[in-house]
Amino acid sequence: MTRHPHRLDDYLKHIVQAIEKIDSYLEDCDQLAFSSNTLIQDAVIRNFEIIGEASKNIERLYPDFIKTHSDIPFIDAYEMRNALSHGYFKVDLDILWKTI
């Protein structure tokens, strides 16, 4: 089975959809509610992982886009994804909330 990379538009849509999901999960949620609700935390973390993975794919496959959009922190998004994915039970919810 051959893996075909997504088009740039697909990756950008994935990022936008993940942001919209995060917004919807946190619609009626303040920091205290977020900090005490592991279900919402897990959903938000998962969507940050999606943003980071899509960002890495854009960086890898579309370097010219990265250069012309240097104001968008694609690298930082991927680094955050790595911290979340490999941090397991060490996720700093304060940093996550500030990022939101």
Catalytic annotation, pick one of 3, 46, 69, 81: 81
Rounded to whole angstroms, how far apart are CA atoms 1 and 38?
37
86 catalytic residue (yes or no): yes
14 catalytic residue (yes or no): no
Count helices and strands in the chain by DSSP H and E runs: 6, 0
Residues 80 and 99: beta-carbon distance below 8 Å: yes
Residues labelled catalytic:
81, 86
